[in-house]
Structure 1
Amino acid sequence: MSDIVDRLHAALAAPGDASSDFDLNPDAVLPANRRLRQAGVLVLVSVADGPPRLILTKRSSALKHHPGQIAFPGGKQDPGDVDAIATALREAEEEIGLPRDLPQIIGTMPAHETVTGFNVTPVLALIDTPFRAVAEPGEVDEIFSAPLSHLMAPDNYLVESRIWRGARRYYYAVPYGPYYIWGATARMLRALSSRMAQ
């Protein structure tokens, strides 16, 4: 376990800039006076049952925003949250039943700006104890894990595109089995993989 902890600490210490859903779309014009809402997500690496795996969720198909997409546990910052770490831990407890005192917090990555107006801070954490994951039915359809080795391999990332608001938008994707991980989640993972490779 000490090896993966050292690798994750080294990844956070490696140079790297903030990321954005617009990184692959340099022609996008962003409003100068835009106001971003603060959010936090938990990038949770589990070593409880063997080689490191990353815990992810499939968002409920009934949600208004990003239904059915693959995401980290997390969400917008509430007034009672002291920081992004508190937000990520609170949301992970609500969404997947993770006790707040169970993960070991490694640190935070630079924030990621989404097309939906959020400034998302990825909180990197490690867990070495099994826990009973329980999906919050209003928000999460499924909880699953993917090998960290797959998500940290740059060659597994694709650049794909689709029409969004009348223009072609490019984005990262990192498929895993039946799961199509794309958009902000894939971009934050791609940023972590770049740091891990240094």
Structure 2
Amino acid sequence: MKQLHRAMARPGGSSSDFDLNPEFRLPPGRELRPAAVLVAVRRTASGPELILTKRSSRLRHHPGQIALPGGKQDPEDADPIAAALREAHEEINLHSGCLDVVGTMPLHETVTGFSVTPVVAILHRDFACVPEAGEVDEVFAVPLAHVLDPANYAVQSRIWQGRERRYYTVPYGPYYIWGATARILRSLADRAAP
């Protein structure tokens, strides 16, 4: 957990799904929708673990992709932290009383037009994980050490809107973690570096 606290104590800049694609020109005057995700870490006998979800294969947007619990910020949410906590409760039954928020990371802009605030938290007690069937197919954990090690990241690419788009990946076992989730985690890894 020391690495996590060290990472959050360091300054960091905003990130974007376009970081590895400097030739891509973002439209001027674009309006981004606020969203938040929860970077939730729990202590285990084998070391700290990061909680991730596999999105439902029935979803219209990003089906089957690996994600941090979270989503768009609603008008009723007091701030991004409240949005991340509400979404985590809705998606995986993680109650805010089970964790301590360490802080927030700088904003991350997605290709889908969201400005995402990553909220970092540490669980101080376990919770009864219940995936919301309409949104989440699976909840799993990855060792925090794996995602904090920059050596575990690779840059890959796909054709998107007729052009090659490069993005970070940080695979773990059968899980292909990529895109915005991998970029946010890479930002955290960069801040945690000794």
Q: Which residue of 1 aligns with 2:137?
A: 141
Q: Give the alignment of 1:53-92 within 5 angstroms.
A: 53-92=49-88
Query: What is the RMSD of the two structures over their aligned residues, measured on CA atoms?
Result: 1.0
Residues 1:101 and 2:97 are matched in the alignment: yes
Provide the rounded CA distance (Å) in 2 between the counterparts of 1:127 and 1:49.
Answer: 14
User: Is the 8 Å Cα contact of residues 98 and 126 (structure 2) preserved in structure 1?
Assistant: no
Match of 2:38 among 22, 39, 42: 42
Contact in 2 for aligned 1:49/1:130 (Cα 8 Å)? no
Question: Which residue of the partner structure matches residue 21 of structure 2?
Answer: 25
TM-score, normalised to structure 1's length? 0.95
Q: Output one character per residue of 1:21-74: Cα deviation in whole Å (capped at 9) or x when no partner.
A: 000000011011100000010000011554100000000011111000000000
**For 2:61 and 2:147, how far apart are their aligned partners in 1?**
24
Matched AA of 2:96: R
Which digits, 9 at most, give the CA deviation of each residue in 1:49-101, with x for residues without a partner? 54100000000011111000000000000010010000000000000001122
Would you say 1:194 and 2:160 are equivalent positions? no
What residue ranges of structure 1 are gaps of 5+ in the alignment? none
Q: Which runs of 5+ in 2 are unaligned?
A: none
**8 Å CA contact retained: 1:18, 1:112:** yes
Structure 2 counterparts to residues 116-155 of structure 1, below 5 A: 116-155=112-151
Task: Tell me if 1:167 matches 2:163.
Answer: yes
1:113-161 CA-partner distances (Å, limit 9, x unpaired): 0000000000000013111100000000000000001111100000000
Aligned equivalents of 2:144, 2:23: Cα separation in 1: 32
Cα distance in 2 between the residues matched to 1:122 and 1:27: 26
Aligned equivalent of 2:176: 180
Q: Which runs of 4+ in 1 moved over 6 A?
A: none
One-letter amino acid matched to 2:132: E
The alpha-carbon deviation at position 12 of structure 1 amounts to 1.6
Which segment drifts farther, 9-18 or 98-107?
9-18
Q: Indicate conservation of the 8 Å contact 2:74/2:83, yes or no.
A: yes
Q: Which moved more, 1:76-85 or 1:127-136?
A: 127-136
Amino acid at match of 1:34: R
TM-score scaled by length of structure 2:
0.97
Secondary structure of the structure 1 residue equivalent to 2:81: helix
Identity in percent: 62
Provide the aligned length of Structure 1 versus Structure 2.
194
